[in-house]
Amino acid sequence: MLSRFLSPRIQELAHQLREFVDQELVPLEQNAFHRPFQETEQALKALRPKVKAMGAWNLYLSKDHGGPGFSLLEVAQLSEILGRSPLGHLSCNCQAPDAGNIELLLSHASPALASQFLHPLLSGDIRSCFSMTEPDFAGSNPVNMGTTAIREGDEYVINGHKWFTSSADGASFAIVMAVTNPEAPKPHMRASMIIVPTDRPGFDLVRNIPVMGHAGSGYHSHAEIRYTNVRVPVTNRLGAEGAGFALAQERLGPGRIHHCMRWIGICERSFDLMCMRAATRDMGNGSYLGHKQTVQHWIAESRAEIDAARMLVLNAAETIDQAGSKAAAREISTIKFFAANVLQKVLDRAIQTHGALGITDDTMLSYWYREERGARIYDGPDEVHKSSLAKKILADYGMPRSTH
């Protein structure tokens, strides 16, 4: 964290959050991922009075919606601090996918839907999930979708197969992307977002998908779900029919800022662990691991790359604050693949510095290496973002659009 960039109104909160993460959350980590996650959630609920006393509950929301009213740039810097622990965002009710779902509901939920779903989310009484990705279709082209919502009177009948619906285990409802307008001339106008309570008949959580051998539970999981003739009222739709992708774009820009700054928080924690190991690991004969030139190079490269990634993300956040997500399209694509790659490199170096210890679960490094490898895949693979950015740049030089 580069404290000189903090605005005066978040400096004290940043200090308090750092202490909270180090003193309250880090001690919970070792047990959190080796027992049912519901036990950890109870421990986090017990910490809510401290979170609320700091003013960190729902810290990304505007004052109109009960939050502190910080800018995205300010929230990004606080998100880095929370990212130092896998429990950070969850402790403050700022976790994905709930944060993005809350923003959707704030903008597009009817009063009845807000009462039933939004208000309990804001208070942390329930969790939600976002059900979009499908195993039978390439996620890099999300308009290809097999899940349908066919209207019968005042209801939608939903059928489909989703996976990597993160945090579905224990969630009270899903926001489902489903095709409602298959004949629409533009693919991006064929799908809608529909709220589906998870207790509806036909909602089947098939399994929590193992990620490199770990299926997880509760919030800490990724589910495969089948929707079989699930009926919900048409009034459960968010926004206009066929507007699903337009709504998805609304949550995309700020969501990527949150992700990238969380990754930088992970990088900083991993960097601390790497440096501590290098400075204290005795190799014998008065030689320490940190005396090795290769390790010195890893530390230097990591320091430069983390700082560069942070500045890119903060610049993107400031651009969104000042001009909106559309104006920041290039910056958003850039930070997605750049920060994800920095994360992977820093984690790998930290593990290598720890030797065999690094691949055990005795530190958080193996957990992050396992869970965050997907950073280069979800929310659009690196390759898609690189191509998108390059096309925008080349258009400035007069390259015609491809006809293929």
Which CATH number is 79's domain given?
1.10.540.10
Q: Which of 305, 331, 330, 306 is nearest to 317 (CA)?
A: 331
3-state class (DSSP) for residue 125: coil
Please tell me the predicted confidence (pLDDT) of residue 255.
86
CA atoms in the 13 A half-sphere facing the CB of 127: 24
Mark whether 202 and 263 lie in a shared domain: no
Residue 123 in any domain: the answer is no
Q: Out of 209, 242, 275, pick the residue that ends a domain.
A: 242
CA atoms in the 13 A half-sphere facing the CB of 189: 4
287-288 and 216-217: which strand pairing? unpaired
Mark whether 225 and 156 lie in a shared domain: yes
Residue 321 in any domain: the answer is yes
Residue 118 in any domain: the answer is no
Residue 331 CB partners (closer than 8 Å, separation 6+): 312, 315, 316, 319
CB 197 within 8 A of CB 232: yes
Residue 111 in any domain: the answer is no
Residue 100 in any domain: the answer is no
Return the structure tokens found at 81: 């601090």
Mark whether 269 and 352 lie in a shared domain: yes
Mark whether 254 and 389 lie in a shared domain: yes
Mark whether 191 and 259 lie in a shared domain: no
128-131 and 173-179: which strand pairing? parallel
Residue 390 CB partners (closer than 8 Å, separation 6+): none
Residue 121 in any domain: the answer is no
Domain count, the chain: 3
Q: Out of 191, 225, 242, pick the residue that ends a domain.
A: 242
Q: How many residues does the chain have?
A: 404
Residue 101 in any domain: the answer is no
Please tell me the predicted confidence (pLDDT) of residue 276.
98
Q: Out of 193, 226, 242, pick the residue that ends a domain.
A: 242
Residue 404 in any domain: the answer is no
As a whole number of angstroms, the distance between CA 168 and CA 215 comes to: 12
Q: What residue numbers bound the domain in which 185 lies?
A: 128-242
Mark whether 151 and 163 lie in a shared domain: yes
As a whole number of angstroms, the distance between CA 276 and CA 98 comes to: 35
User: What secondary structure letter does DSSP report for 367?
Assistant: H
Please tell me the predicted confidence (pLDDT) of residue 38.
86
Q: 353 exposed, middle or buried (CB, 10 Å; 0-12, 13-18, 19+)?
A: buried
Mark whether 218 and 297 lie in a shared domain: no
Please tell me the predicted confidence (pLDDT) of residue 55.
94
Residue 20's H or E segment, with its range, is: helix 8-20
Mark whether 140 and 258 lie in a shared domain: no
Mark whether 157 and 26 lie in a shared domain: no
3-state class (DSSP) for residue 71: coil
Mark whether 49 and 157 lie in a shared domain: no
Name the stretches of the chain with pLDDT < 50: none
- What residues pair up with 221 in beta bridges, in sequence order? 216
Where residue 343 sits, what CATH number does that domain have?
A: 1.20.140.10
Distances in Å between the Cα of 36 and the Cα atoms of 32, 47, 108, 294, 331 are 8, 18, 34, 40, 39
Where residue 146 sits, what CATH number does that domain have?
A: 2.40.110.10
Mark whether 345 and 250 lie in a shared domain: yes
The pTM (predicted TM-score) of the whole model is: 0.94
pLDDT digits (tens, 9 = 90+) for 149-198: 999 999 999 999 999 999 999 999 999 999 999 999 998 999 999 999 99
Mark whether 155 and 257 lie in a shared domain: no
String of DSSP letters for 101-121: HHHHHHHH--HHHIIIIIHHH
